[in-house]
Structure 1
Amino acid sequence: MSDEGIPIILFCYPGSVFARRVSWYLDLRKISYRVCIQPNRLPRPELSDRLNIKHRRIPILAIGRDVYCDTCLIIRKLDQLFPPSPVYPGLRVLSASDHGLAALLENWTVDGGVFWRATQLIPPNSPLAQDDATLRDREEFTGRKADTGESWAATRQFAMVQLETSLRFLETTMLADGRDWLAKSYMDGPSVADIHGVWVFDWLLHDASMEGAVSGEERERWQTRYPKTWAWLQRWRRFLADNRCWEAEKEKHPRQIDGEKAAELMEMAGFAEQVKVKEIDEEVAGVNRGDVVEVWPTDSGFTHHDKGMLVGLTPEEVVVEVETETGEEIQLHFPRVNFRVEKSAE
């Protein structure tokens, strides 16, 4: 498909490391998009009230009236909707086996615990840890209480050991042969596999909100112990700069819009894709097309359920139809992995 005539809107906030993966992808693929900045914590009335999107995790990507929730689904959908062409260059095309590598890296950094260990390095005196409202919001989001004081020091030590194990894994496996990029045909440049593999470490080393998370001494140790991985991390930074990728912490997006404008653009647009509902095994799924269902993530943000009419359910995604504040229909897309879909009790 083409992005001409159909708006692509990234709902995010500065400092969202998950949103950065999506903005990197869009910029590197040269896909034109707008940005709607949201608060870094609830409430987000422009989403929950105006658009009737209860999903609380950022980023959210709207392509016309189709709204994609969760980073893994967003990038996968962009791959499908914007196949490689001279108009959309920037990332190397992956082979089938390299697609598998990218998927494993995505799972490894999130569900494998790499990101969670990185959050445990956030110093108690950082702006993130000093904001009581944000801390309460994150505790409600994750169901876990943040470590502080002496408990943080012990947690940090263990988290650093785990992160160095992750660095050693990269150093002694995919990067062991001296390649520039993670996928096998590495001479052609980076791929989405690099996005999925690099983002946590890039966040620790280069994000202003993470200052002090990795000390100068620890940086030197990483450079000495894991030289190939360190070189890959620096190479990625240069690649971002060469391609003028947007960084929300440093500058306003050139196509930034407010929430009402975003909603109006979505409501005036068509749908990005016609949902084709596959046959649903009711004995397995417990739901069928036309049911009013609730959808929510099972790992974090699980107290905020989206409710709407089921219009699509495949092994990869669930799609529900909801009405915006003005009565316009939009479709919310969620992945199946780590998400539940059940008939609404109301």
Structure 2
Amino acid sequence: MSTPFTFNRALDPDSTLYLPDGLTSINLPTMATSDPFSPPVVLFGYEASTFTLKVRLALRIKQIPYTFITVPSMLPRPLLTETFNLTYRRIPILAIGRELYCDTSLIVEALEHFFPEAEGYQTLYPDAADGRDYRPMIRGFASYWTDRPLFRATTGLIPASVWRTPFGEDRAELIGHKLDPDKLEKKLPENLARLDLQLSMLEPLFSHQGEGPWIFSTKAPSLADISVYYQLSWGSDIAAGRLINNLTGGGTSDTETEGATAVFNAQRYPGVFTWYKTLQRYFENLPSTEDTDPAFATVLEQIRNSPALGKKSLLLPTPRSSHAELDRKCGLIEGAMVSVAPDDTGRADPTVGTLVALSPEEVVMKPKQLERKAEVEVRVHFPRLGFVVRPVGGAKL
């Protein structure tokens, strides 16, 4: 038996949902009234990008005003290379002023740091009902589960027509080996079974909701909720063929098939499905803070005129500073030329530049000039988790 509830700040008359007994309302965050951190926030991505969706959801929960700039789903991306001399090929990229953040694991931490709860923004790491801070567990949950094995399960549901377009050739270069569309098509049932396995492992998370509907029993949705939701939302759409026209840059047409509904439904996994629909309505009731595709020249001027972060504020806070001796032994000293590349896909396209700062979790570099000087000088931030940082040439600049 479930109790009907209405969101405390519903924006439409159809916001009634059904939740387990004992829960009658959910509070939604409000946009911060003051913002002492003034640089513009700009997200570079495209509609069908899995991880772009993850960041958009984080920005929406935190109610951070930002600009969305569309870039192609495939290389080349002159807007990024010519504007910033950025050769990193994965999406999304988030600009906070003249600081560029790569990989969602670091982007989320940057948003949490620069737009904190103390200044009126919703945190992505709310305390749990038992009072504990599950931030390290939530970060690991996202990085080592949803962003990797669950992501592999959902990407395995991409229709074979996608791989028969130039997008398939682009992603073969990213992955590092050829993709056979016919073989991938035959593997779709096997990959759907992999999603079923993931849902089976997730279902027990939602068997005890007396203290609220959210993962880890937090007081509000956390990064853990975002991480599972964006994968299931994107996976459901892509499996049905709803995003494939955008994903392939017009290389194939959208479809509307059964997709993942054979395993992702209310009868087979009622806990996951109820939570999913609850969070879906939560997002729908949040005001949008996104300004979509304005004139890029205006945005570029805002980025160019942004105040530069000082050396002490370049790195996100960590429990300990960089281990200077270990970094020196690895050749990672300030001013060295270094390369940064993911440790999985995209290893053949490292980003090269001058090392500016380093912590146990983050590396900051000034990108190497390409054929033409960048229109705006920026610093690029990468996480060390999931990336390999190595010196190039060994000489200090």
TM tier, smaller: 0.7 to 0.9
Query: How much does 1:258 deviate?
Result: 4.5
Partner of 1:332: 380
- Aligned letter for 1:48? T
Percent of residue pairs bearing the same amino acid type: 27
Q: When you count helix as a share of all residues, which structure comes out higher?
A: 1
Does the 8 Å CA contact 1:121/1:159 hold for their aligned counterparts? Answer: yes
- Aligned letter for 1:201? L
Does the 8 Å CA contact 1:102/1:196 hold for their aligned counterparts? Answer: no
Does the 8 Å CA contact 1:171/1:226 hold for their aligned counterparts? Answer: yes
Partner of 2:157: 121
2:221 to 190, 194, 205: 190
1:48 to 54, 67, 81: 81
Alignment partner of 1:256 is 2:285: no
Alignment partner of 1:164 is 2:207: no
CA distance in 2 between partners of 1:216 and 1:32 (Å): 33
C-alpha deviations, 1:302-332, integer Å up to 9, x for none? 2222222111111101100237735753210
Does the 8 Å CA contact 1:123/1:213 hold for their aligned counterparts? Answer: no
- Secondary structure of 1:170's counterpart equals helix
Over 3 Å counting, the alpha-carbon distance change for 1:217 and 1:340 in structure 2 is closer
Partner of 1:36: 69
Query: How much does 1:171 deviate?
Result: 0.8
Does the 8 Å CA contact 2:139/2:223 hold for their aligned counterparts? Answer: no
- Aligned letter for 2:392? S
- Aligned letter for 1:238? R
Alignment partner of 1:305 is 2:342: no
CA distance in 2 between partners of 1:316 and 1:92 (Å): 18
- Aligned letter for 1:109? T
TM-score by length of 1: 0.86
Query: How much does 1:81 deviate?
Result: 1.4
C-alpha deviations, 1:112-165, integer Å up to 9, x for none? x2111211111223xx344x221111111112433423x234422221122111
CA distance in 2 between partners of 1:343 and 1:57 (Å): 21
Which structure 2 residues correspond to residues 1-346 of structure 1 after superposition, within 5 A? 2=35, 5-85=38-118, 87-89=120-122, 93-94=126-127, 97-106=133-142, 107-111=144-148, 113-125=149-161, 128-130=162-164, 132-149=165-182, 151-172=183-204, 174-178=205-209, 179-185=212-218, 188-206=219-237, 208-209=242-243, 214-215=258-259, 218=262, 222-245=265-288, 254-272=291-309, 274-275=313-314, 278=322, 280=324, 281-282=326-327, 284-322=329-367, 325-326=373-374, 328-345=376-393
Query: How much does 1:232 deviate?
Result: 1.0
Q: Which moved further from structure 2: 4-13 or 316-325?
A: 316-325
CA distance in 2 between partners of 1:22 and 1:3 (Å): 22
CA distance in 2 between partners of 1:32 and 1:26 (Å): 8
TM-score by length of 2: 0.76
Over 3 Å counting, the alpha-carbon distance change for 1:54 and 1:216 in structure 2 is closer
CA distance in 2 between partners of 1:145 and 1:222 (Å): 34
- Aligned letter for 1:98? Y
Query: How much does 1:228 deviate?
Result: 0.7
- Aligned letter for 2:382? F
Larger Rg: 2
Q: Which moved further from structure 2: 317-326 or 305-314?
A: 317-326
Q: Which moved further from structure 2: 102-111 or 151-160?
A: 151-160
Give ranges in structure 1 of 5+ residues lacking alignment. 247-252
- Secondary structure of 2:277's counterpart equals helix
- Secondary structure of 1:43's counterpart equals coil
Query: How much does 1:213 deviate?
Result: 6.8
Give ranges in structure 2 of 5+ residues lacking alignment. 1-33, 245-254, 316-320
C-alpha deviations, 1:30-63, integer Å up to 9, x for none? 1111111111111011111221111111100010
